[in-house]
Amino acid sequence: MEAPKRGRPRKSSVEGTEKQVKQREYMRKYVKEIKEGVVQLEKDEKNCLEELAKIRKDKKKLIDDLDKANIQASSILKEAVAVPKKTVAKRKS
């Protein structure tokens, strides 16, 4: 069994004076556009949140890669700059 509809019954598009009919059509169109706008905003928000999550993931990956590169560069620099240990030469007496 179908549940009864909530709210007052909807008037037909020809009921009332011409001015009332035009006003009713305008309001129906206005409400419809608002509902469509809200749905579109919800979709856009979802897309933005997904894009933000992707950007954050990429940022974290780039930071990790940069950290690894800095560690590698530091070790290479230490090897290049390191002074070899001098061996103590035995003196002949």
For 11-35, the pLDDT digits (tens) are: 777 788 889 999 999 999 999 999 9
Average the pLDDT over each of 36-40, 54-58, 63-67, 80-84 and give the range with the smallest value: 80-84
- pTM reported for the whole predicted model: 0.56
Q: Which residues contact 14 (CB under 8 A, 6 or more apart)?
A: 21
Q: Which residues contact 1 (CB under 8 A, 6 or more apart)?
A: none
User: How much is the average pLDDT of 52-76?
Assistant: 96
